[in-house]
A and B are shown apart, each in its own frame.
Chain A
C-alpha cells in the first residue's frame, strides 16, 4: 500500500555562536513526525511560516539529512546516499520548488533545463532527448517553440509549468510540490493546479503538496497534515480536517480562512473571536509546559490529533468541538 514511509523523523539545525563558533543550541525544525504515502494520492502539508514544511520536503528528496528517524521506500531504508542510489530512489521522488522566479537557471535554455534529469539517468540520443522534452512540454501545455527559449521569456505560470515538466521527466512516483502556486496570480494558479491534477491521473502520481493556502489544499488534497512547531498537531482526510477540526491550532487556521461569503461576515468575525479565546483557554490540553506539541492520538480510522490524553479529548469534545 504505502510505498513511502517516514518514521519519527527529526531534523535539528545547530545554532552556532560565541567566540569559537560552537554549537549553542538547536532549531528543532522537524521534531518527530510520521507520515506515509500511497500511490496516486495527494497529501497536504499546512502550517505557519517556519513550522518545518520545506524541511520535511527536502529531507524526503534527500536534500537535507535526517538527524534521526527513518525514511523507508518499499520497506527499505533510504537515509543514506548509497542506499538511495542502489534503489533508484532519486528518480522516483522529485521536488517542485517554492520560488518560481529563482528555481530555474536563467542561463539555460528550456530544453537543457528539462533534459537535465534525463541526462543524469537515461542514455538518450540527441534526437530521442528532443522528442522526449517536446512530449513533456506538450503534457504541461507549452508550445514546442519553447524549447530554445530562456526562462525570462516566460510568465510565472509558464515557468512553474517548465518546473513541473522537469519534475515529471523521469516518471517519478512522488512529487514534493513546495508552495507551487503561492507566487502566482489567481488565473495562473488555476492553470497550474489543473495541470497538476491532470498529470496525476495520467501517471498515477502522488503529491506531497505544501501550502499555506487552505482553499488550495482543500481543492487538491485527499489527506492533510497540519504542522506546528516542527510537529503534526492533526492529521486526517479532507473531511476530518475541514468539517471536524479538533486541535485548537487547526480550528484557528480554519477560522482564519477569508471565505467568499459577504452575508455572513459578522458571523465569521464572531467565530474568530471565539476561537481566539479557546486558543488561549485550552492551550494546556494541546501543548506541554515547554510549548511542545503532544503525540498524536488516533480518534477515528483516519483522524489523528495531538492532545494530552483521552480525558482532555473528552473535555474538548464537550466544550468546543
Chain B
C-alpha cells in the first residue's frame, strides 16, 4: 500500500521584494511528503531551502514576501493562511527545529515552561498532566536529569542539549510533520550523530513525516528516504536516496558529488564547480540556470526551457542535456 500523503506542495513560488520589484527565490517547486518519510532538500547556501519551509510554517513577513502556488495540508491550501490560522497548526500539526537553538528559545524562560507552552495552547491536559508530559518528553530526547533541566535557563545548557530541548518542543503535540532546517549544522560531529539518530528513533514512534534541510550530502545519505537537489530556486533532481547516489544524473548533482573529499579522492584534486551561484536579482530567468557553470557544454545541448521530468520510476531530472553531459576533463562522451 502507498504511504499516506501528508503534505503536497504544488508550483510554489516565493518572491522577496526589493524596492518595487519582486524576485522569485523559490521558483516553481513541487513535492509531496508521506507519513514516516524523511524528505531531504540539499543545495548550496542561498538556493532557497529555508524559503520553502518558512512558507510551510508561515514565517514570512507578508509585507515583503509574496507566496503563490499551493501548499496542501489536511485538504486545505495553507499557502496564504493568516497569522491566526497558522497559529492553529504550527506547533500542533507541524513542528519545527532550526539551526540555532539559542535564537529559537526564549532566554528569559525556564526550559520546563517553554516545553509546556504548546501543551497549554494545543491540548486539554491539566497542570499535573502537563508537567508529567514535559518530564516524559525530556526523557524521550535523552536528557538524563529532566527534573533539574526543567528549572534551568537556555544559556545553562550545552548546544547539543538545547537542540534536544527544541526537539522535545517540536514533538510535544505529536505533530504529523516535522521541519528540521539544518538541525545539526552548529554542532560537533559526535553530537550531530546523536541528534540525528534521536530524530529518526522518535519519528518512528509518532509516525511523522520529516522535511530535513541540510547542505551535507553525508547526512542526506544516512538519513533521507527521498532527496531533492536544489539549485537557484528550483529542484534540479528528485529521487530516492539510494538511486540519487548510485545514479546521479543532473550535471549539478554530479558536480556536487565530485567535489566531496572521499577515500578515492586521496592524492587527487577535488572537482571545482566553475563560476559562482548567481544572486537573487541576477538569476538567469530564461533557459537553464546551471548552464553558465558548465560552459564547455555547447549551447545546442541545453534545453531552452528545461522542466523536471520523470526519467525512471520516482526519479525526476530537470532537462534532457544530462544525457550528453560530461565533465570538462573527460572530453566528449
Residues of A within 8 A of B (CB): 48-49, 155, 185-187, 189-191, 193-194, 197, 212-216, 218-220, 252-253, 255-263, 265, 268-269, 272-273, 276
Contact with B261, one of A219, A258, A276 (Cβ below 8 angstroms) = A219
**A238 CA to B328 CA, complexed, in Å:** 31
Which residues of chain A have C-beta atoms less than 8 A from B218's C-beta?
Answer: 215, 257-260
**A64 CA to B126 CA, complexed, in Å:** 56
Query: Are A48 and B188 also in contact (CB < 8 A) when A219-B261, A260-B262 are?
Result: yes
Which residues of chain B have C-beta atoms less than 8 A from A193's C-beta?
Answer: 261, 270
**A247 CA to B102 CA, complexed, in Å:** 32
Residues of B within 8 A of A (CB): 44-45, 159, 188-194, 196-197, 200, 215-219, 221-222, 241-242, 245-246, 255-257, 259-263, 265-266, 269-273, 276-277
**A202 CA to B262 CA, complexed, in Å:** 24
Contact with B272, one of A191, A197, A214, A268 (Cβ below 8 angstroms) = A191
In the complex, are the beta carbons of B259 and A186 less than 8 A apart? Answer: yes
**29 residue pairs A–B, Cβ–Cβ below 8 Å:** A49-B188, A155-B276, A185-B45, A185-B215, A186-B256, A186-B259, A186-B260, A187-B255, A187-B271, A190-B260, A190-B273, A191-B270, A193-B261, A194-B269, A194-B270, A215-B260, A215-B261, A219-B265, A220-B261, A255-B193, A258-B216, A258-B222, A260-B245, A260-B260, A262-B222, A262-B241, A262-B245, A265-B221, A269-B222
| CB-nearest residue of chain A to B261 | A219
**A57 CA to B276 CA, complexed, in Å:** 31
Min distance, Cβ A315 to any Cβ of chain B, angstroms:
23
In the complex, are the beta carbons of B219 and A272 less than 8 A apart? Answer: no
Min distance, Cβ B188 to any Cβ of chain A, angstroms:
4
Which residues of chain B have C-beta atoms less than 8 A from A257's C-beta?
Answer: 189, 218
**A321 CA to B273 CA, complexed, in Å:** 40
Contact with B190, one of A186, A189, A252 (Cβ below 8 angstroms) = A252
**A295 CA to B261 CA, complexed, in Å:** 32
In the complex, are the beta carbons of A259 and B261 less than 8 A apart? Answer: no
In the complex, are the beta carbons of B188 and A212 less than 8 A apart? Answer: yes
In the complex, are the beta carbons of B269 and A186 less than 8 A apart? Answer: no
**A185 CA to B256 CA, complexed, in Å:** 10
Residue from the set A49, A185, A191, A259 with the largest chain B CB neighbour count within 10 Å: A185
Q: Top 4 closest A-B pairs, CB basis? A: A258-B218, A219-B261, A190-B270, A187-B273
In the complex, are the beta carbons of B44 and A268 less than 8 A apart? Answer: no
Which residues of chain B have C-beta atoms less than 8 A from A255's C-beta?
Answer: 193
